[in-house]
Structure 1
Amino acid sequence: MRTYQETVAVEATMAGQAWAKAFGAAMGVISGCFARREARETARELTAGLLLEVHTRNCWTLAEALGHPGPHRLQHLLSRARFDHDQAREQVARMVIDHLADEDVVLVVDETGDAKSSTGCVGAGRQYSGALHGVGLCQVAVHLAVVTSTTRVIIDRALYLPADWAADDERREAAGVPDEITFATKSQQAARMVADALDAGVRARWFAADEVYCGRELRMEIRRLGLGYAVGVPATHSVVDGAERRWQARQLLNKVRPEQWMRRATGDGAKGRRQYDWAWLDIRPDDTPNEAGPQGTTNVLVARRHRYTGEVSYFRCHAPGPVALATLVENICRRWKIEETFQLAKGYTGLDQGQVTCWNSWMRWSLFSLIAAAVLTMTLHAETPATTRRPTRLVPLTCPELVRLLRTFVLPSPTRDREHALRWTAWRRRHQATAQACHQQRHHLYDQP
């Protein structure tokens, strides 16, 4: 047991050093985006504070944990401070890209939703969200992640504005939505982020996404950018085989003979190696001017079958040249990694807890949350060589364990002295009483004939 403790002690020391280096680098690249030193220092506090041990993360709880007399400094940073958050996002993305320069990158797009209680929140409306498991009042944002064999980091995001929201000038003005922001579909937002990532220097050859992003226009744009793609499609997706006959994906699957299914591993889980049966069939491309497609390209429909339940999923794939099934399977499986980034950002850096209502506030809160998550990921990535020498009965250092170590040895403890707690209790109760009176007065005015 002592050997294990000594190993963990060494890892904790190295993790603290790697965290300090990654956090300093992230704060350094965005330092020029602030007009004042005070806002820069508050941003540093907020980013580190997102990892503190608090029951929920918003301006009130973080300000109390950081020892501030009120939430005003954090609220000012998010809403009114002179801070170019778009440039900061670009700088952090370039830092991550440089960090992963020697690895094979797949660009992965997916969306996530945050439940809201009012349509007054920027972009909030009744819409579908996988995070809510159905239709509900929520904000939906499209995220772009760079995924390698060892690392997954979100480098860009775009808040989706429903058509009715984007056309409502009164709500746009109240939420501070810039005039240049107009309605765009999720696929259009994804295409724009992929193009921006390539312009920023991402060396990617593949794009992966789920069924939401299987539309023909997006696939045409991905091909124009010179990338291959592996996107999920529904069972009813229409494809054309080599004989010019049109089929639904589930119908075309009947052409696969039993011996053509190949079992391939898709990764290691806590309960063992995950394996599925895979098959592919050649299809005609529908996203080029010439339906036959350029010579030498690969256009296939890939099917994945669960080896116990028999459930089948379908993926439409394109590659600029010849490609093996193993490569397609690897890129399809990397799409799942973005779900892990959402779990990290929501569970440890408060991506969905900000309680912000305006455009600037949403953009900045999501930015700082993603910066904190990126720093955690880069810290784990830096620890990988050390963890390969660990005792065989210790699993690699995980993100939850890393956060526990940082909270114990590196990050400041939340402020919990008596006077501070009493002052915050009084502030909250007074603020809530004022808000309650305002709501009652507004409802009374609405009830007048």
Structure 2
Amino acid sequence: MTTNPDAVAAELTVAHERWPAFFTELMDRVADCFPRRETRLTCRDTIEALLTVEGTANCWTLSEAIGHRGPHRLQHFLSRARWDEHAVRAKAAAWAIERLGTEDVVLVADETGDEKSSTDAVGAARQYSGALGGVGLCQVAVHLTYATRAGHTLIDHRLFLPSAWAADEERRELTGVPEELSFATKPQLAVEMLAQLHADGVTRAWVATDEVYGGRETRTAIRALGYSYVIAVKSDHRIRTAAATSTVTDLVKRVPTRSWQRLRTGSGTKGERHYDWAMIKVLCDDTSDDHETGHGTLLVRRHRYTGTVSFYRCWSAARVPLHVLVDVVCRRWRIEEDFQAAKGLTGLDQGQVTTWRSWHRWCLISMISYVLLAVIASSERHHNTTPIPADLVPVSCRELLKLLRILILARPRQDLDPEHALHWSLWRRRHQHRAAACHRRWNEITAASVT
């Protein structure tokens, strides 16, 4: 008897079949956050359209795909409609946590930037962003990823307001920044999200971040929540041992050769990755009066070819072996995967919105869309009764979305209705003509005022 391997693979790849049940379950979970049926249906339509549209995702393209005659309904949904986006975020995060499990949790905080063309958008300023590769005009937001063995996804976000923005009352009023909101650093925003998650019931977890979040105040706040941490620190970070106080660079020079251990840290397209690791016991400088000292460790990673060294300051209530800390370091990169997927698949960085509320609502809809993809892909990998064949990689969010677009999701309205496509072509041309006329008129007014 012969077996068709493609047929076997097709039988195993059933993740797309879970979409209707998972989507309905999550939408039912957040339904009471929308006081009106029309707003609730618009939310459902927007999420499906966001996953359906290929290319640029904004109010125009989504409204055209849904079948609206203009973008006004979706613009109203994002800016003025009455619904509780904070409750929706909390319930969507709780749903993702239930699906991904509460064992062996790593919470990863990091920021990403979205390039902007002007400072009219809330929080947009010339500032550093790793996503841009330097300083540029952008919005920067701090996000939180929830990662377990089953999978990982974004579950929260906070927009960073530069100090000049936070102090500018006129711009705050124009963009709808809440009056009670004051300037907060990126580490403070990360601690806010961790505190909210702790209040929501996630009380045991590791926290992993990069060196931006390695300050003593941040580490103390993380410990006050009962979380352990693995935080990257810079090469000039000073640390105290039982013998002396020195920089981590000087400290690693005294590590004996026999103390290094080579461990596998994952697999890439070019094969397995291995690094040399060492642990050094250090004294804690972030213990408050009402907390136990616990166990402080400096974790050192060395590239086995280049010799490049990275440092991580760690703390846990109980002593943990080396491989546990290494695993947390490796899972810190899950948030980079989430950024790439959420931007590439669900338009996280494409919202052409300018106000505080619209920005948060757009990011929320994008996050929910990505949560659905991540959870369904996770269920394919970890809840199939039949093991995935050795010659197949697990289904990714990108591959799942391709299947959904072909097999499950409705085609964009403009693909099915030529009259609808023609209407939108005329609408865009008319709107662009009006916009150009307004710009010319404004330029004439400003030129006259100067002379």
TM-score by length of 1: 0.95
Q: Secondary structure at the match of 1:301?
A: strand
Q: Per-residue displacement from partner, 1:61-114 (whole Å, max 9, x unpaired)?
A: 111122221111111110111111011111111112222334211111011100
What is the CA distance between 1:211 and its match in structure 2?
A: 0.8
Partners of 1:45 and 1:53 in 2: how far apart? Answer: 12
Q: Secondary structure at the match of 1:138?
A: strand
Q: Secondary structure at the match of 1:50?
A: helix
1:36 corresponds in structure 2 to 36
Q: Per-residue displacement from partner, 1:107-149 (whole Å, max 9, x unpaired)?
A: 1101110000111100111111110011111000001111112
AA paired with 2:371?
A
- The Cα RMSD (Å) is 1.6
Partners of 2:102 and 2:207 in 1: how far apart? Answer: 18
Q: Per-residue displacement from partner, 1:353-401 (whole Å, max 9, x unpaired)?
A: 1111111111110001000110111101111232862332222212221
AA paired with 2:275?
Y
Partners of 2:441 and 2:276 in 1: how far apart? Answer: 63
Q: What is the correspondence of 1:14-163 to structure 2 with a 5 Å cutoff? A: 14-163=14-163
Indicate if the aligned counterparts of 2:129 and 2:135 stay in contact, CA closer than 8 A.
Answer: yes
Partners of 2:444 and 2:351 in 1: how far apart? Answer: 30
Mapped pair 1:199 → 2:196:
no
Match 1:333 to one of 327, 330, 340: 330
Mapped pair 1:405 → 2:406:
no
What is the CA distance between 1:437 and its match in structure 2?
A: 1.2
Indicate if the aligned counterparts of 1:105 and 1:203 stay in contact, CA closer than 8 A.
Answer: no
Indicate if the aligned counterparts of 2:16 and 2:400 stay in contact, CA closer than 8 A.
Answer: no
Q: Secondary structure at the match of 1:57?
A: coil
Match 1:386 to one of 380, 384, 387: 384
Partners of 2:103 and 2:155 in 1: how far apart? Answer: 16
AA paired with 2:64?
E
Unmatched segments (≥5 aa) in structure 1 = none
1:396 corresponds in structure 2 to 394
AA paired with 2:346?
T
1:429 corresponds in structure 2 to 429
1:7 corresponds in structure 2 to 8
> Taking structure 1 as reference, are residues 224 and 203 closer, same or farther at Cα in structure 2, changes over 3 Å only?
closer
AA paired with 1:322?
R
Give % identity.
49
AA paired with 1:396?
P
Q: Per-residue displacement from partner, 1:314-345 (whole Å, max 9, x unpaired)?
A: 11111112111111111111111111111110
Q: Per-residue displacement from partner, 1:289-316 (whole Å, max 9, x unpaired)?
A: 57xx945x21111111111221111111
What is the CA distance between 1:2 and its match in structure 2?
A: 6.6
Partners of 2:141 and 2:410 in 1: how far apart? Answer: 31
Partners of 2:344 and 2:25 in 1: how far apart? Answer: 23
1:324 corresponds in structure 2 to 321
Mapped pair 1:352 → 2:349:
yes
Mapped pair 1:285 → 2:281:
no
Partners of 1:397 and 1:264 in 2: how far apart? Answer: 27
TM-score by length of 2: 0.95
Unmatched segments (≥5 aa) in structure 2 = none
Partners of 2:5 and 2:135 in 1: how far apart? Answer: 48
1:251 corresponds in structure 2 to 250
Mapped pair 1:212 → 2:212:
yes
AA paired with 1:386?
N
AA paired with 2:221?
E
Runs of 4+ in 1 over 3 A off after TM superposition: none
What is the CA distance between 1:203 and its match in structure 2?
A: 4.4
Indicate if the aligned counterparts of 2:12 and 2:388 stay in contact, CA closer than 8 A.
Answer: no
Q: Per-residue displacement from partner, 1:211-233 (whole Å, max 9, x unpaired)?
A: 11101101000111111110001
